[in-house]
Structure 1
Amino acid sequence: MHDDDEDDGEAVRAVYDVSYRRLVTQMVALCGNRSEAEDVVQESFLTALTHRADFIDAANKEAWLRTVALNRLRNRWRRARVAGRVLPKFRAELSIELGPGAPEDHVAIVYALSQLSPQVRLTAVLYYIADLTVAQTAQELSVPEGTVKARLARARVQMAGYLDDHEEADHV
């Protein structure tokens, strides 16, 4: 192994240490299934190792990994449709698998996200969960900032009913 390969491997490992949990959280919010989220994030890190030059050259390595993970998630959904399986609008409709000990409010948030269209859901996840700014979200999605703002407004309105009901139940 060359020194450059070792340095590149260390760079991937360093990003893994910082970004893995955040990326898994973002993917869980998108697909509602912790195992699937972990799989696509792990696959994105494997892609970083096999495409080191692209990964190392990326200005925002976490965004690069998120894009790879999102593409993996979309490919899985596409393959499921092609295979003729009935794929629910969102896996959470069958069961939300967030892992042992997941707080109830996390389940409520993921369920509320599941009720959004895929584009609005992705926008909300990038802004609220990945903590990207409106400008960064627009850049990552290749849409105007106004589109991001409109999607976020739509997400807040659509999710409010699910989250308000949940909060009221907790306070009764």
Structure 2
Amino acid sequence: MQPSTADFDAFYQASARRMVLYLYAVCGDVAEAQDFAQESYARAWQHWPRVSALDDPEGWVRTVGWRLAANRWRGLRRRWAAQARMGPPDVVTASPSPDRVAVVAALQRLPAAQRQAVALHYLLDMSVQEIAHSTGTPTGTIKARLSRARTALAGLLGDHSPEVSDVAPRS
């Protein structure tokens, strides 16, 4: 006989509270325990025909929950070890400069395609050909977007210096 949705629902109703309590004891955080339980039951549902045929379906869900919690702890330990090796992250307490705020605001006023081209070209130092290849856009279109973006930025930033408005894109 094929297991049904009703079978899974009954299984869930009978075991979910115990599972959350167990996982809470394992990880010490109610929200994480609920997340691990939810993920465990989602995986059980995906494999319900096989899981329901086991002698102890709840044991299967419990094992999945344990592994999810253990993987979370392993990830945290790796993160802590990396932080210990690299030192604490730099704390940035200073506000962004007025120039940076103006540039970000001007970039936000550009059409998305121009903003993307500018970011890839000037921030990631990609050539026009690299941008065209990565976006699937013709090279000429990328050049036009960069040119239009530079013109728009010059107007938005009030800077008509040669460094901003007359720079040709790298090919």
- TM interval, shorter chain, is 0.3 to 0.5
Larger radius of gyration: 2
- TM-score (structure 1 length as normaliser): 0.43
Return the TM-score normalized by structure 2.
0.44
Larger relative contact order, structure 1 or 2 (CA cutoff 8 Å, min sep 6): 1
